[in-house]
């Protein structure tokens, strides 16, 4: 457990609740711009969903494995690089051109190389839809060009919006708005008839964006499906948790503090203005700005949950509470963290493999297994001759938070999920069960416990009705209380929460004000 090196002060310019990537980005940037900053984290590990935890010689990633924007020479989404430059800290990276292999009942697709190369794979696999596939991907390329050309600015700042309108041609803004309100499924169905390919793309989107083909905005889908071909992926050596540790180095280098095992009971508010926080032990720490990286449900509450929110209901508008109650959140998942004998994996196995055993047309029926092998990219994450694997199992019977309770059936239900997941894993990598060296499993309740986030998932779904202006922004009903993270615009994913962190810091102190 990391030590809390400095004692807590009575006052800071900025207090950030939660050491997820969004919160740490805001904290590090504010510190680099001259503010006194305190981050309070309830866990003993930083990073939120992007943390790495140890077990003996293994190091397992909890969440994200693939990063964009880490390297200024690759791809378009270079927001991480923007943060690295400002705080003066840089990661050690591994690069790989293969994104992942997608295995399906009739073969496999290797997501690697250029968009053109991938399109040729799709045409070979689905020749009857050649014209539609080419037209579909041509449209995605055009939407991708439009989207990556948009500046990253907070949507709840009038001056920033004026700059956006001034800098971006009106026809592009109108086109982006149109495709932000049309689903990926709508776009797909214009061109392609294959229900098998539709099922594959739906499963991909569930795995990487936690939405489905009929609810994900087409403009967002274009970014996800095309950007992966613009330079390949990057991985932080040491595990995904290294990104959090880098941000902490930047925070502390500029005088900021991070305290672990520091749970916040409530945000202190007077006359509609946030002025600090109360910890669970009763201590009150004052601040000019408070930033919540705890998620909107933990911050504001939600009908039907047992969450004790950070903000008392009296300070919130009815419309805000209704918005939280209406929100849809990602399902969670059943995860196996496994040490596995390296001989299980044939030479040339990609670091990530996705598999569906049928062409599921509905996400309600989807069964999928994802193998994320961090030690393929960094041998130091596992002992010699072994690999550190995160096996994510999507199954409607085991992924829904509401279906899990810590009752007398919890352990047997957990064992049933493990047995079913490993049976599916054997279809992809025969002998994997016999090759297990270490196993621990995570349920939706495990994720809720360790991440202190209601629901155990990644956050508010990336759907048309929860995208861009329809999503929570940074400003709240309480003056000087800001939100950051996956529930805010632009949404879920390491790049998205980094963008959220950049924009949240903009509300507190802009780069030019340093």
Q: What is the DSSP string of 441-463?
A: EE-HHHHHHHHT-TTSSSSB---
List of domains in the chain: 11-47+76-92+237-328+460-513 (3.50.50.60), 114-234 (no CATH)
Residue in the block written with tokens 């496999």? 108
Q: Is the CB of residue 209 less than 8 Å from the CB of residue 493?
A: yes
Tens-digit pLDDT string for the chain (514 aa): 465 668 999 999 999 999 999 999 999 999 999 999 999 999 999 999 889 999 999 999 987 666 776 777 777 778 888 999 999 999 998 877 677 899 999 999 998 878 999 999 999 999 999 999 999 999 999 999 998 888 899 999 999 999 988 999 999 999 999 999 999 999 999 999 999 999 999 999 888 878 899 999 999 999 889 988 887 677 888 888 999 999 999 999 999 999 999 999 999 999 999 999 999 999 999 999 999 999 999 999 999 999 999 999 999 999 999 999 999 999 888 999 999 999 999 998 988 999 999 999 988 899 999 999 888 878 999 999 999 999 999 999 998 888 999 999 999 999 999 999 999 999 999 999 999 999 999 999 998 888 888 888 889 999 999 999 999 999 999 999 999 999 999 999 899 999 999 999 999 999 875 5
**C-alpha distances in angstroms, 340 versus 270, 280, 390?**
54, 40, 10
- Distance, CA of 468 to CA of 191 (rounded, Å): 26
Entry pTM: 0.95
Residues 6+ apart with CB under 8 A from 419: none
- Distance, CA of 324 to CA of 299 (rounded, Å): 10
Residue 174 host element (H or E): helix 170-180
């Amino acid at each position: 457990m990391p030590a809390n090196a400095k004692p807590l002060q009575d006052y800071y310019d900025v207090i950030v609740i939660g050491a997820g990537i969004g919160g740490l980005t805001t904290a590090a940037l504010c510190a680099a711009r001259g503010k006194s900053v305190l981050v309070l984290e309830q866990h003993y590990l930083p990073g939120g969903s992007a943390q790495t935890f140890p077990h003996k010689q293994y190091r397992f990633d909890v969440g994200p494995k693939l990063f964009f924007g880490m390297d200024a020479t690759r791809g378009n989404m270079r927001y991480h690089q923007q943060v690295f430059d400002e705080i003066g800290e840089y990661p050690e990276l591994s690069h790989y051109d293969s994104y992942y292999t997608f295995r399906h009942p009739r073969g496999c697709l290797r997501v690697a190389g250029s968009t053109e190369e991938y399109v040729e794979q799709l045409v070979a696999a689905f020749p009857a839809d050649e014209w539609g596939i080419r037209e579909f991907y041509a449209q995605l390329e055009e939407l991708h060009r439009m989207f990556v050309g948009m500046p990253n600015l907070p949507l709840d700042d009038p001056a920033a919006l004026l700059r956006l309108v001034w800098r971006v041609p009106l026809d592009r803004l109108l086109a982006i708005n149109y495709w932000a309100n049309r689903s990926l499924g709508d776009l797909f169905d214009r061109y392609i008839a294959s229900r098998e390919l539709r099922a594959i793309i739906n499963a991909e989107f569930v795995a990487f964006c936690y939405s489905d083909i009929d609810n994900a905005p087409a403009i967002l889908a274009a970014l996800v499906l095309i950007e992966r071909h613009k330079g390949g992926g990057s991985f932080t050596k040491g595990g995904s948790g290294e990104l959090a540790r880098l941000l902490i180095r930047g925070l502390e280098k500029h005088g900021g503090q991070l305290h672990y095992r520091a749970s916040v009971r409530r945000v202190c508010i007077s006359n509609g203005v946030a002025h600090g926080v109360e910890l669970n032990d009763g201590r009150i720490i004052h601040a000019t700005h408070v930033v919540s990286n705890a998620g909107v449900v933990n911050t504001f509450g939600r009908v039907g949950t047992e969450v004790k929110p950070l903000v008392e209901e009296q300070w919130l508008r009815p419309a805000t509470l209704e918005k939280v109650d209406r929100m849809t959140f990602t399902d969670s998942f059943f995860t196996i963290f496994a040490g596995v004998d390296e001989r299980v994996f044939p030479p040339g196995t990609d670091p990530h493999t996705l598999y569906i055993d049928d062409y599921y047309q509905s996400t309600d029926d989807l069964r999928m297994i994802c193998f994320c092998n961090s030690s393929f990219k960094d041998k130091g994450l596992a002992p010699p001759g072994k690999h550190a694997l995160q096996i994510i199992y999507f199954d409607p019977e085991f992924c829904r938070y509401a279906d899990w309770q810590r009752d007398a059936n919890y352990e047997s239900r957990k064992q049933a999920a493990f047995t079913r997941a490993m049976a599916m894993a054997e279809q992809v990598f025969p002998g994997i069960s016999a090759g297990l060296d270490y196993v621990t499993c995570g349920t939706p309740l495990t994720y809720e416990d360790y991440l202190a986030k209601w629901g155990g998932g990644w956050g508010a779904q990336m759907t048309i009705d929860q995208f861009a202006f329809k999503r929570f922004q940074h400003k709240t009903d309480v003056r000087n209380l800001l939100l950051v993270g996956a529930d805010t615009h632009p949404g879920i994913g390491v790049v998205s929460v980094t963008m959220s962190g950049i924009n949240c810091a903009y509300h507190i102190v802009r780069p030019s004000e340093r």
